[in-house]
Structure 1
Amino acid sequence: MSHRFVHFGEVAEHHARERPDAIAFAFEGRTTSFGDFAARCRRVAVALSAEGCRPGARVAFLGKNSDLFFELLVGAGMAGLVTVPLNWRLAPAEHEQILADAGAELLFVTGDFLAAAARLVPNVAGIRRLIAIEPGDDPDRHFTAWRDAPGDAAGTTVDVGRDDVFLQLYTSGTTGRPKGVMLTHGAILGALELAEASGEAWRRWTPDLTALVAMPVFHVSGSGWALGAFHGGGRSVVLREFSIAGIERAIAGDGVTHAMIVPTALQMLVDSWEQGDVRPGSLRQIVYGASPMPPVLLKRCLKLIGCDFVQYYGMTETCGSFVALPPEDHVRPVGNRLASTGRVMSGNAIRIVDLQGAEVPPSVVGEVCVRTPGVMAGYWNMPEATRETIDADGWLRTGDAGYLDADGYLFLCDRIKDMIISGGENIYPIEVEQAIATHPAVDAVAVIGIPDDRWGETVKAFVVLKPGAAVNAEELVAHARTTIAGYKVPRSVDFVATLPRNASGKILKRELRAAHRTGPDRAPDGAPDRAPDRAVA
């Protein structure tokens, strides 16, 4: 498919003409053809106009995955509106903060969050109406009844451009309050057009594939993954949330060919499948992100599943991936390439820079910067943070520390904000954490730098032990010293019951630093949060 669409409404109308009877979305026994999907999206646009929503307004979605979310998303896009999906794992106060920040006018909610949402609405100025996705007890407040109410379609004609914001995703907030990442129609379409033009089969979305949408839609790896399949004319099988049983049903009943699954979930699947009679024969490709694939797990996957594996590295701020480790590097790896995130994909550019912004040579660690057609329009109502993240030439600072090897493979080290400078030496906490985590008594570990009058900073570790395990600080330090340099080992170790985490499970090192008065962060607050799921097509 070589079409260059202006907005996602055009994508819906194109497929409605070309393949009206083909299935676009499947969800819990319900299927929607491309023809029906486009018609329903038009009705959503009419209903939004009837609610008084004008181009540029925000509408929010709170709930687990549903096929109806995509009707809302594309229908809102047709009307020039912006959809804001909320992380349902957040606390009510965090939902209120995001809804107020976005200025959401309508709130669409799945049934399991309806009661919580009803308590939110009175606390958020600007929300005019609450609409239940499903199940809903009140027919007048139910999405399908709202969508299908009579309306004047002629009154919804809107001139939507590629530069108009389509989707606003909020970062996980590990470095401060969540930021609203504004993704335009053109940015998402541009990333998909690069994949289409690449000529690489493993990057292309085609009508013959069936994609599993198991990642949450409030992540770019959930909503963006489904939009990729939709753009290419393929079918999306939407799971309410990740589960082994759900994935098995999708494979057996829907013939899923492409799936995006994080390594920890793959571990769970393989553990289960090796004990049972599941034959995941329909799978042709598994995409993963968030962390490299452990070689032992990869071997088990290749033996059991036998499909292609691709690792993607990307961010919410770039509409997903711009670096990939393709299938051939998984089957015939050279050196330690399986520990890398891969090479920059055609149509994108990356460079590694030092703290002064100068490009560094291969094998030298610095900050990863990217220039891509998929770059965000900016952070909602945060112009300073946007300027700190994207420079005048369009280079986006990822906030990740890494290096390129001589062959152009990217190896990630840590977050720039988390880097420790001790005695003039740069220390990346992930190296220290990995060294400590190999001790059999350790369940979880986080490493930060704390102020030191002599060295500037020293390394401090926070360790959670496994139930019933015992080890002292001296033993852990000695263990770490066997794999990392002496200047990197912790000078102090605190044993704690838990580590502070956000709703996505990421460790909040800023809270650990704040508790130990570590002073201001070296990187500006505008440095973006990497998406928890570093994978999207």
Structure 2
Amino acid sequence: MEAVAPSVAGAPAIRCAGHERDYPSFLDRAARIATGLQDAGVEPGDRIAVVLRNEPAHLEITAGAALLGASAVPVNWHFRHDDLRHVLTDSGSKVVFAHTDLLDAVTAVLPDGVRIVEAAVPAGVAAACGFSAPPPSGAHPLLDRWLEGYAPLGQAAGERPPTVIYSSGTTGRPKGVLREPVSPGRLEEGVRLFLEHFAVGPGGRTLIPAPLYHASPSQHAVLALAAGLDITLMPRFDAEEFLRLIAQHRIEQVQVVPTMFVRLLRLPKDIRERYDLSSLTSVVHAAAPCPPHIKHAMIDWLGPVLREYYGGSETGAVTWCDSAEWLAHPGTVGRATGTCGVAVLGPDGKPLPAGATGDIYLKPGDGWPRFTYLGDPDRRAAMEAPGLPGYVTIGDIGHLDAEGYLHLSDRRNDMVISGGVNIYPAEIEGCLLALDGIRDVAVFGIPDEEFGEVLAAHLETEPGVLLSAEAVRAHVRERLAGYKVPRAVVFEELLPRDESGKLFKRRLRDPYWAGHDGAI
């Protein structure tokens, strides 16, 4: 194992790509941003947009808005054209903070009357993302100079509104989740639960490798700041850099998505063994199903430090399980904790017995802020469980086992009905990821005259690997039922995923359905 020089021990800080901010400086800048927003006409209850990559300024702007009683809207900086226009317009943001290289995309769709504050791209962030940092445009106030013109906000808001997270738009137009403001007492309780479930102590060291425009890393960062943790941000995920940062900063806690596990496991063994990961006490994952063989491999590598939760932007984490629970209930995403609840309902809206698959409904914990969808209260109302007040669905299908542990099957929108049989693509994707040479996979339904739908598998292979469609089908046929064998097998150079690992199946599926109305 190659020793990596650890960072110098000291007071907790926020760092990213070679740049570090101590907490006093961070809090001073956030308070100045709050005054600047106030001067720009932002009031409690308003929203401001953040079109920035991961870096300390992203968190400072979010904190500054909260001090004023306003909500930050972290925007997927990959968005362009209609998606970006929709978020900026739908959110009603009064001010947009944007990195210099993203200004053209923002100004092209900027609603009338909205102000822009420009943020220079830190050189380390640009390098990590594979481009050279451009010079400031000179067309808008530059963040560092802009905030210097204001004194720190004198009186902070009593209640802090959470960020407004927009979905990635994988199945349609992104929707904004608007949550009610959080009182100091509820925030304190949220921090307590965060430290308990993430198995990290006050002042501990955490690493955030996923984009802050997603719900989990955004909430992670907010709670880590409130807990005073030492925070390392990654501008983008790179498997070996992830290991290097853990070793260098003696990281104790990280939160990842299963795609990152896959990429880590594909590193050559000598690279994986090069870095000292013994500081890790908690590796939390969520956001997507994790194939069982991948999770077994991660536990074998890192030990019983894996923790998994299940929930959504709307509900927060509802179920949890540690490594021992998962090994005792393979494939589970945990069981409800505290005041949270889980129910699996059938088509008649009644609870199903253990082992029966149906629609999953979640009850957030008592401390989780209530929510609605911006401009779409009907959609919010449609999520409610009939006869179960407080339970909502985020569109997943699964079952509870006899001990109350939840097992996911798939997204309701991803389920394929072929010849009257329900097929869950996630199971087939997990099977295909176990095939040597497969780097990534997407399975979905395509139209068929006889069966209504049949399966298509789009595959991304490792460099230099040659596989035939028949070899792929044979692999599935040997392990799963015949009706789960993909009819169409397509090899892609790169499957469309965002930086958190979320797969954009819609981009693959839509061309097959062009001209169809959903029925054959």
1:178 matched residue in structure 2: 174
Q: How does 1:254-269 map to 2 (within 5 A)?
A: 254-269=249-264
Name the aligned partner's letter for residue 45 of structure 2.
G
In the alignment, does 2:126 pair up with 1:131? no
Number of positions where the alignment pairs a residue of Structure 1 with one of Structure 2: 484
Hey, what's the Cα distance between the residues in 2 that align with 1:313 and 1:407? 17
* 8 Å contact from structure 2 (residues 199, 282) kept in 1: no
* 8 Å contact from structure 1 (residues 24, 230) kept in 2: no
1:343 to 335, 359, 376: 335
Task: Give CA-to-partner distance per residue, 1:463-498, whole Å, 9 cap, x none.
Answer: 44757746456x7656544433345455x4364657
1:221 to 216, 219, 230: 216
Task: Give CA-to-partner distance per residue, 1:71-124, whole Å, 9 cap, x none.
Answer: 1111101112111111122334432332122222222123xxx13314532532
* 8 Å contact from structure 1 (residues 205, 232) kept in 2: no
Hey, what's the Cα distance between the residues in 1 that align with 2:198 and 2:490? 45
* 8 Å contact from structure 1 (residues 82, 167) kept in 2: yes
2:16 matched residue in structure 1: 27
2:103 matched residue in structure 1: 117
Hey, what's the Cα distance between the residues in 2 that align with 1:314 and 1:217? 17
Hey, what's the Cα distance between the residues in 2 that align with 1:134 and 1:325? 39
In the alignment, does 2:313 pair up with 1:324? no
Measured on the aligned residues, the alpha-carbon RMSD in Å equals 3.5
1:524 matched residue in structure 2: none
Hey, what's the Cα distance between the residues in 1 that align with 2:398 and 2:183? 25
* 8 Å contact from structure 2 (residues 341, 363) kept in 1: yes
Hey, what's the Cα distance between the residues in 2 that align with 1:228 and 1:152? 22
| Identical-residue share of aligned pairs (%) | 25
In the TM superposition, what is the alpha-carbon distance from 1:366 to its structure 2 partner? 0.7
Select between 265-274 and 411-420 the one with higher mean Cα deviation. 265-274
Secondary structure class of the residue paired with 2:314: helix
Secondary structure class of the residue paired with 1:116: helix
2:3 matched residue in structure 1: none
Unaligned residue ranges in structure 1 (runs of 5+): 1-20, 522-537
Name the aligned partner's letter for residue 228 of structure 1.
L
* 8 Å contact from structure 1 (residues 205, 233) kept in 2: no
* 8 Å contact from structure 1 (residues 341, 411) kept in 2: yes
In the TM superposition, what is the alpha-carbon distance from 1:178 to its structure 2 partner? 0.8
* 8 Å contact from structure 2 (residues 191, 227) kept in 1: no
TM-score, scaled relative to structure 2: 0.81
1:14 matched residue in structure 2: none
Hey, what's the Cα distance between the residues in 2 that align with 1:32 and 1:468? 44
In the TM superposition, what is the alpha-carbon distance from 1:153 to its structure 2 partner? 4.2
Closer/same/farther in 2, CA of residues 250 and 298 from structure 1, 3 Å limit = same
* 8 Å contact from structure 1 (residues 261, 287) kept in 2: yes
Closer/same/farther in 2, CA of residues 306 and 422 from structure 1, 3 Å limit = closer
Hey, what's the Cα distance between the residues in 2 that align with 1:142 and 1:346? 45
1:230 matched residue in structure 2: 225
Hey, what's the Cα distance between the residues in 2 that align with 1:85 and 1:313? 22
1:364 matched residue in structure 2: 356
Closer/same/farther in 2, CA of residues 148 and 424 from structure 1, 3 Å limit = same
In the alignment, does 2:285 pair up with 1:284? no
1:41 matched residue in structure 2: 30
Name the aligned partner's letter for residue 309 of structure 1.
L
1:408 matched residue in structure 2: 404
Name the aligned partner's letter for residue 483 of structure 1.
R
In the alignment, does 2:201 pair up with 1:212? no
Hey, what's the Cα distance between the residues in 1 that align with 2:86 and 2:318? 31
* 8 Å contact from structure 1 (residues 23, 32) kept in 2: no
* 8 Å contact from structure 1 (residues 106, 131) kept in 2: no
Q: How does 1:154-165 map to 2 (within 5 A)?
A: 157=155, 159-161=157-159, 165=161
* 8 Å contact from structure 2 (residues 49, 93) kept in 1: yes
In the alignment, does 2:73 pair up with 1:84? yes
Which has the higher relative contact order, 1 or 2, with Cα contacts under 8 A spaced 6 or more apart? 1
Name the aligned partner's letter for residue 161 of structure 1.
E
* 8 Å contact from structure 1 (residues 436, 445) kept in 2: no
In the TM superposition, what is the alpha-carbon distance from 1:243 to its structure 2 partner? 2.7
1:315 matched residue in structure 2: 312
1:18 matched residue in structure 2: none
* 8 Å contact from structure 2 (residues 117, 142) kept in 1: no
TM-score, scaled relative to structure 1: 0.78
